[in-house]
C-alpha cells in the first residue's frame, strides 16, 4: 500500500511538474510576447521622442524664421529709406558731374582759343622779329650813310669857308682893278662881256680878270643869301639833314618791302581764317559723329548698370557699371568700369578672386537680360 501511494504520489508529482512545465512554457511565451511588446513600446517611445525633438526643432526654426521675417521687414523699410537717400545722393552726384563736364568743356574751348591765339602771336612775333632785323639793318645802313654825309657836310663847310675867304680876296682885287667902291653895282657893260669876243691878248687877259670878278661877284651874292650867324647856319644844316634822312627812309626798297609785307599779312590772315573755318567744320563733324554712337552706348551701359545694381542690391551689396575714359577725346581708351562695395574698380589688386568671379557673373547676367543667347563661354573668370 505504501508503494502504491508513493507511485500515485509520484505520478501526481510528475503530472504536477508537467502542468508546471506547461504553465512555465506558457509563461515564457507570455514573457516573450511581453518583451516584444515592451520592445515595440520602447521603439514607439523612442520614435515619439524623436518626433518631439523634431517638433521642438521645427518650433525653434519657425520662431527663428518669424524673427528673420520681422527683421527683414524692418530691413526692407530701412532699405527703402536708404534707397531714397541713395537716389538723392546719386542725383546730386550726377548734377555735380554735369556741372564739372560743362566746366571741363568750357576749359577745353578756352584752351583751344588760347592755343590758337598763342600760335597767331608766335607767327606775329616771328614776322615782327624779321621786320625788326630788317629795320635794324636799314638803320645801320642809314646811320653809316648819315655819318658819311656828316663828314661830307663838314668838308663842304670847310670848303665853303675857304671859298668865302678866297671870294672876298678876289672881290677886293676885282674892285681894285675895276676901280669900284664896295657900294657900287656891277656896270652893265661888264655883265654882257663874252670871253669868246676877246682877240687881243691884253684884252683877253682883262676879260679873264673881269670874268673872274663877275664869277666872284655872283658867288658873293649867292653867299649873301645864306644865314649870317652860326646858330642859323646850324639850324639850316639840321633842316637839310632831316630832309636827307626823309629821302633816305622813303627809298624804293623800303616801300617795296612794306608792300610785300602787307600782302603777306593779308595772305596769312586769309589762310588763318580758312583754317579756322575748316577746324570748326571738323569739330562739328566730330561732335555729330560722337553723338551718333556715344549716346546709344551710354544708354546701353545705363541699362546694364540698372540690372547689375539690382543684382547686387538683392545680396545687400552695392555695385555699379559705367563707361569710363580719362579723356573724352581719346576714343580708343574708352572702357567698361565695374565697381563694387567701394569706389575702386574691379582689378586683380583690389578684390579677391571670389569677388571678381561674382562681379563677372553678375555682369554676364546683366548682359543676358539685354541680349539673350543659348550659352556663353568665359575663361579665367576670377582674373
Q: Which three cell numbers stand for residue 374?
A: 543659348
**Non-local CB neighbours of 303 within 8 Å, separated by 6+ positions:** 370
Q: What pLDDT is recorded for position 383?
A: 60
Which fold would CATH assign to domain 295-370? Rossmann fold (3.40.50)
Q: Can you give the pLDDT at residue 95?
A: 87
Per-residue HEC secondary structure of the chain comes to CHHHHHHHHHHHHHHHHHHHHHHHHHHHHHHHHHHHHHHHHHHHHHHHHHHHHHHHHHHHHHHHHHHHHHHHHHHHHHHHHHHHHHHHHHHHHHHHHHHHHHHHHHHHHHHHHHHHHHHHHHHHHHHHHHHHHHHHHHHHHHHHHHHHHHHHHHHHHHHHHHHHHHHHHHHHHHHHHHCCCCCCCCCHHHHCCCHHHCCCHHHHHHHHHHHHHHHHHHHHHHHHCCCCCHHHHHHHHHHHHHHHHHHHHCCHHHHHHHHHHHHHHHHHHHHHHHHHHHHHHHHHHHHHHHHHHHHHHHHHHHHHHHHHHHHHHHCCCCEEEEEECCCCCCHHHCEEEEEECCCCECCCCCCCHHHHHHHHHHHHHHHHHHCCCCCCCCCCCCC
Report how far residue 277's alpha carbon sits from residue 363's, in angstroms, rounded to the nearest whole number: 45
What are the sequence ranges of the domains in the chain?
295-370
The answer to whether 338 and 317 are in contact (CB under 8 A) is no
For 24, the grid coordinates are: 512555465
* Residue 340 pLDDT: 74
Model confidence pLDDT, tens digit, residues 188-234? 444 444 433 344 444 344 444 444 444 444 545 555 566 667 677 77
Q: What is the pLDDT of residue 312?
A: 86
Nearest to 134 by CA among 270, 267, 266, 249: 249
For the chain (length 383 residues), average pLDDT per consecutive 10?
73 86 88 90 90 90 88 78 86 87 85 82 79 77 75 79 77 65 49 41 43 48 61 74 58 73 85 88 85 86 88 85 81 81 55 75 80 75 63
Say which residues have a Cβ less than 8 Å from residue 257's Cβ, sequence separation at least 6.
134
In terms of Cα–Cα distance, which of 146, 161, 159, 148 is closest to 230? 161
pLDDT of residue 254: 67
Q: What is the pLDDT of residue 66?
A: 87
Distances in whole angstroms, Cα of residue 194 to Cα of each of 77, 172, 174, 208, 330: 137, 22, 17, 10, 100
The gap from C-alpha 337 to its chain's centroid, in whole angstroms, comes to 22
Per the listing, cell 592755343 goes with 115
Hey, what's the cell of 284? 562739328
Q: Which of 379, 378, 362, 374 is nearest to 304 (CA)?
A: 362
Buried b (16+ CB within 10 A) or exposed e, 47-60: eeeeeeeeeeeeee
pLDDT tens readout for residues 11-47: 888 888 888 888 888 888 888 899 898 899 999 999 9
Are 311 and 365 in contact, with CB atoms under 8 Å apart?
Answer: yes
Amino acid at each position: 500500500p505504501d508503494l502504491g501511494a508513493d507511485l500515485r504520489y509520484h505520478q501526481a508529482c510528475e503530472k504536477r511538474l508537467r502542468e508546471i512545465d506547461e504553465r512555465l512554457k506558457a509563461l515564457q511565451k507570455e514573457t516573450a510576447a511581453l518583451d516584444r511588446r515592451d520592445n515595440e513600446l520602447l521603439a514607439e517611445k523612442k520614435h515619439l521622442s524623436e518626433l518631439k525633438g523634431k517638433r521642438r526643432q521645427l518650433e525653434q526654426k519657425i520662431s527663428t524664421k518669424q524673427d528673420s521675417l520681422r527683421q527683414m521687414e524692418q530691413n526692407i523699410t530701412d532699405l527703402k529709406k536708404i534707397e531714397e537717400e541713395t537716389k538723392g545722393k546719386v542725383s546730386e552726384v550726377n548734377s555735380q558731374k554735369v556741372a564739372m563736364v560743362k566746366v571741363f568743356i568750357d576749359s577745353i574751348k578756352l584752351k583751344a582759343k588760347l592755343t590758337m591765339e598763342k600760335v597767331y602771336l608766335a607767327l606775329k612775333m616771328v614776322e615782327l622779329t624779321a621786320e625788326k632785323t630788317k629795320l635794324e639793318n636799314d638803320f645801320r645802313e642809314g646811320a653809316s650813310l648819315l655819318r658819311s654825309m656828316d663828314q661830307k657836310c663838314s668838308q663842304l663847310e670847310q670848303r665853303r669857308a675857304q671859298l668865302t675867304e678866297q671870294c672876298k680876296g678876289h672881290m677886293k682885287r676885282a674892285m681894285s682893278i675895276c676901280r669900284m667902291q664896295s657900294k657900287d653895282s656891277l656896270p652893265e657893260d661888264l655883265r654882257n662881256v663874252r670871253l669868246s669876243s676877246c682877240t687881243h691878248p691884253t684884252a683877253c687877259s682883262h676879260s679873264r680878270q673881269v670874268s673872274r670878278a663877275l664869277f666872284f661877284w655872283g658867288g658873293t651874292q649867292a653867299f649873301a643869301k645864306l644865314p649870317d650867324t652860326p646858330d642859323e647856319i646850324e639850324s639850316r644844316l639840321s633842316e637839310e639833314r632831316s630832309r636827307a634822312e626823309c629821302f633816305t627812309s622813303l627809298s624804293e626798297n623800303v616801300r617795296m618791302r612794306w608792300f610785300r609785307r602787307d600782302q603777306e599779312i593779308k595772305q596769312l590772315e586769309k589762310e588763318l581764317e580758312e583754317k579756322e573755318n575748316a577746324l570748326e567744320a571738323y569739330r562739328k563733324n566730330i561732335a555729330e559723329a560722337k553723338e551718333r554712337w556715344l549716346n546709344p552706348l551710354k544708354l546701353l551701359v545705363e541699362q546694364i548698370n540698372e540690372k547689375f545694381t539690382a543684382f547686387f542690391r538683392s545680396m545687400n551689396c552695392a555695385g555699379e557699371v559705367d563707361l569710363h575714359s580719362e579723356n573724352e577725346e581719346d576714343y580708343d581708351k574708352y572702357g567698361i568700369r565695374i565697381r563694387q562695395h567701394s569706389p575702386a574698380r574691379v582689378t586683380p589688386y583690389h578684390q579677391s578672386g571670389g569677388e571678381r568671379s561674382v562681379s563677372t557673373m553678375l555682369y554676364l547676367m546683366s548682359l543676358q537680360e539685354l541680349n539673350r543667347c543659348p550659352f556663353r563661354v568665359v575663361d579665367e573668370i576670377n582674373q
